[in-house]
């Protein structure tokens, strides 16, 4: 089942691997922010200075993701750690599209088969070697104990002494998930929960926030571990979700399954530190908390 790990990452939205960790290496359009401060010019990948066109209104120039992923049975997916906590960010020249809509998540109350996704094409901007988020632990990867739940965070770009107050608010995870057997931790008795093709209800708590809630059921060949497809349903944080037979029946009978409980919160903050532009651009934010359990398709 070696291939499980790769597809697990896909379903956990790690397609955003192009996003750098908070400790950004200075690469791409190096020192572009400094160039903006010195003159109304742009450094493209060629390194040449050119006039900068005014970006469109409501344009996006960055993406910041703060995520926690917990895998109930890491050994089931050839993973070594139960928890993955990280902050990732990317600054780039303004675009008229959106990182968030590019995720192509299902509409509220709807389900899809084989969740698609697209990533915007961007020209990266370096904002220095380090970004700290105040109110949290200042590193790309961190221990779960250092994740401050439901907390407003300031963002500090130290190379340029730029402070953005209340840039984003973190979220919280789960006290329980049902069926609780989804969270068995040992491979010898994991994959114990039957996920019915006739329809299935999942529950979680706490609930009642204004976060979006996504459940993904991904299926795998029980012999080779090959990925077979997924279904995904989006709803509010109501504490339970029913996946109808219309979609559950698309999962192959007898397949192994990973079940992804995902809490999402999206936002944005204004960034007005590109002096070449006459108005701020938006940095989009994505808070994500995910718990991954195991089952089989019945």
pLDDT digits (tens, 9 = 90+) for 225-258: 999 999 999 999 999 999 999 999 999 999 999 9
Bridge-based pairing of strands 141-142 and 162-169 is unpaired
Query: 287, exposed or middle or buried, with CB in 10 Å at 0-12, 13-18, 19+?
Result: buried
74 three-class SS: helix
Counting the structural domains of the chain, the total is: 1
DSSP 248: H
> Average pLDDT in the 119-144 region?
69
- Residue 90: pLDDT band with limits 50, 70, 90: confident
What is the Cα–Cα distance from 12 to 69, expressed in whole angstroms? 8
The reported pTM is 0.80
> Average pLDDT in the 65-76 region?
94
Q: Provide the residue range defining the domain that includes 183.
A: 1-298
pLDDT of 27 reads: 31
> Is the confidence at residue 156, as pLDDT, over 50?
yes
- Dihedrals phi, psi of 4, to nearest 5 degrees: -60, -40
Give the mean pLDDT of the chain.
Answer: 79
Better-predicted residue by pLDDT, 138 or 86: 86
> Is the confidence at residue 3, as pLDDT, over 60?
no
264 HSE (CA, 13 A, CB side): 23
Cα angle 101, 141, 266; round to 5: 25
> Average pLDDT in the 39-58 region?
45
112 HSE (CA, 13 A, CB side): 12
DSSP 14: G
pLDDT of 199 reads: 97
Residue 77, Cβ neighbours under 10 Å: how many? 24
Instruction: For residue 267, give Cα distances in angstroms to 104, 190, 212, 228, 288.
Output: 16, 36, 12, 33, 12
Nearest Cα residue to 173 out of 135, 209, 216, 132? 209
């Amino acid at each position: 089942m070696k291939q499980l790990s790769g597809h697990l990452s896909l379903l956990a939205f790690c397609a955003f691997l192009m996003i750098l960790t908070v400790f950004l290496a200075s690469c791409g359009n190096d020192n572009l922010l400094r160039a903006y401060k010195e003159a109304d010019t742009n450094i493209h990948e060629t390194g040449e200075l050119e006039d900068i066109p005014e970006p469109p209104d409501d344009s996006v120039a960055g993406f910041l993701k703060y995520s926690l992923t917990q895998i109930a049975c890491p050994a089931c997916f050839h993973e070594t750690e139960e928890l993955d906590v990280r902050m990732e960010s990317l600054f780039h020249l303004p675009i008229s599209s959106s990182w968030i809509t590019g995720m192509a998540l299902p509409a509220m109350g709807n389900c899809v088969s084989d969740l698609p996704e697209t990533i915007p094409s961007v020209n990266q901007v370096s904002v220095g070697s380090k970004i700290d988020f105040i109110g949290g632990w200042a590193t790309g990867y961190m221990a779960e104990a250092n994740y401050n739940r439901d907390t407003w965070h300031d963002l500090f770009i130290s190379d340029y002494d730029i402070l953005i107050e209340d840039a984003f608010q973190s979220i919280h995870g789960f006290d329980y998930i049902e069926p609780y057997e989804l969270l068995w931790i040992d491979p010898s008795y994991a994959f114990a929960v039957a996920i019915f093709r006739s329809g299935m209800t999942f529950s979680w708590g706490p609930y009642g926030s204004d976060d979006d809630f996504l459940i993904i059921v991904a299926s795998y060949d029980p012999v080779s571990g090959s990925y077979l497809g997924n279904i995904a349903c989006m709803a509010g944080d109501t504490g339970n979700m029913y996946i109808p037979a219309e979609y559950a029946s698309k999962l192959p009978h007898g397949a192994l399954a990973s079940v992804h409980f995902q809490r999402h919160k999206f936002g944005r903050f204004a960034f007005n530190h590109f002096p070449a532009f006459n108005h701020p651009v938006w940095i989009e934010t994505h808070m994500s908390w995910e718990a991954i359990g195991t089952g089989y398709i019945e």
